[in-house]
Amino acid sequence: MGRIERVEILQVDLRPKVVRTDAIQSFVAQETPIVRVTCDDGAQGMGYSYTIGTGGSSVVALLRDHLAPLLVGEDASEVERLWKKLCFHTHATAVGAITSLALAAVDTALWDLRCRRAGLPLWKMAGGAQRQVPTYTTEGGWLHLSRDEIVEQTLAARDAGFRGAKLKVGRPHVSEDVDRLAAVRAAVGDGFEIMTDANQGFTVSEALRRARAFAPFGLAWLEEPLPAEDLGGHVELARAAPMPIAVGESLYSPQHFREYLERDACSIVQVDCARIGGITPWLKVAHLAETFGVAVCPHFLMELHVSLAAAVPNGAWVEYIPQLDDVTTSRLTLRDGHAVPPAAPGLGIDWDFAAIERRAVARATVAA
């Protein structure tokens, strides 16, 4: 197998196509660090990660100064060993968001290369468990929208073929959330799934109060009701809440997921490939959840997660929220309310290199 000869690092900043506001933040820009690995035989792989507006320059610096130099001269096929090597090299800054995001950009590039060499799409290379996965949309449920607007947009999502929609919760008073959820449920009927997301905005007592108030609406889940570091609070809430509790986008280590699963602190895992550090640890988390009988409904990154959710038997949902349209020519395939993983070898993402070059706000190359 080829040895890594060159590592290119770029960052592009992508503006959300709609205003995105939740209980604690707004999406300013999607900083997207991109890594391209080239081997001495000419084979290449491309990977990426993201932030929602801050930290991108730190990810690029970590890649340029510390991770990329360790890759040059290495056998690109030894993905697991390289992930561990890079993780332990940055052990003083792991486990945490910046390191995980940098690791993910490298790891997804190595998996892209591995799949391309094998002539297989990622969803088959990583397991090949499902040919399609149900999909729901998040783009119409932002917290700043009025009740009438979220009803209109959720109906549009249903009519477009989505199987469900996510609504942000965390309005100043519980009655406001209830009013919005009641209006949406009455409009879409009982056969359409409604997911809710609090973005870590509640205390335990308020989360319990709202979960009980939301019970009549048959929710698919209540996502991130508490700060992710409050494991004990999640244990208490999961025991009492009348709907499944979903966590994962703000957890950065497989061991953190193990703690949640061992203590029955969640019943849906939303592991994020970028925030967990790449495909290598993502698959560990997914199969760990499988042993507990817990579904995986990955957060964001639909262009990548469609393949990963299809790779594992417990991949239950793909979240539709366009991320890469401005720098790719490929689009997510939707069929009868399901997301279909790409059939092309690699990650299945067709990058628009001219657009990336035009939009690049940072670039670096580390070579032999």
Report the phi/psi class of residue 224: left, alpha or beta, with left for phi > 0 and alpha for psi in -120 to 50: left
Helix 97-118 to helix 79-89 angle (10° resolution) is 160
What amino acid is encoded at 185 in this protein? R
- The one catalytic residue in 168, 234, 256, 338 is 168
Output the CA angle 85-91-93, nearest 5 degrees: 130
Instruction: Provide the 10 A C-beta neighbour count for residue 181.
Output: 22
Annotation marks residue 299 as catalytic: yes
Q: Which of 124, 234, 256, 299 is catalytic?
A: 299
What is the dihedral sign for C-alpha 266, 270, 273, 279? positive
**How would you classify the pairing of strands 133-137 and 164-168?**
parallel
What's the CA gap between 346 and 342, in Å, rounded? 9
SS3 38: strand
Q: Are 304 and 342 in contact (CB under 8 A)?
A: no
Catalytic (active-site) positions = 168, 299
